């Protein structure tokens, strides 16, 4: 697969993914006591980190978007 995630997009995805994982497991906020919200945030955060690491977003591929330079 070709890369379709640019540098700024990667940084934002990595920060958001790390933030979601922190909120899900270490924040202690009452909102994340719910199992659905806790593991939902963890899954979304992990996917964001994987996309940031691989620079390939399947949703971008489906719609033909690219945020990286040619």
Query: What confidence tens digit (pLDDT) does each residue in 10-67 have?
Result: 999 999 999 999 999 999 899 999 999 999 999 999 999 999 999 999 999 999 999 9
Judge contact between 57 and 3, C-beta under 8 A: no
**Domain parsing of the chain, residue ranges:** 7-63
Dihedral sign for Cα 40, 48, 9, 23, please: positive
Spatial distance between the Cα atoms of 46 and 39, rounded to a whole number of angstroms: 10
pTM attached to this predicted model: 0.88
Dihedral sign for Cα 62, 51, 8, 16, please: positive
Spatial distance between the Cα atoms of 58 and 50, rounded to a whole number of angstroms: 11
Query: What confidence tens digit (pLDDT) does each residue in 10-21 have?
Result: 999 999 999 999
């Amino acid at each position: 697969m070709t890369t379709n995630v640019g540098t700024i997009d990667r940084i934002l995805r990595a920060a958001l993914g790390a933030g979601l994982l922190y909120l899900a497991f270490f924040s202690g906020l009452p909102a994340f006591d719910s199992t659905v919200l806790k593991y939902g945030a963890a899954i979304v955060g992990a996917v964001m980190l994987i996309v940031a690491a691989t620079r390939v977003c399947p949703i971008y591929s489906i719609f033909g978007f690219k945020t990286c330079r040619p």
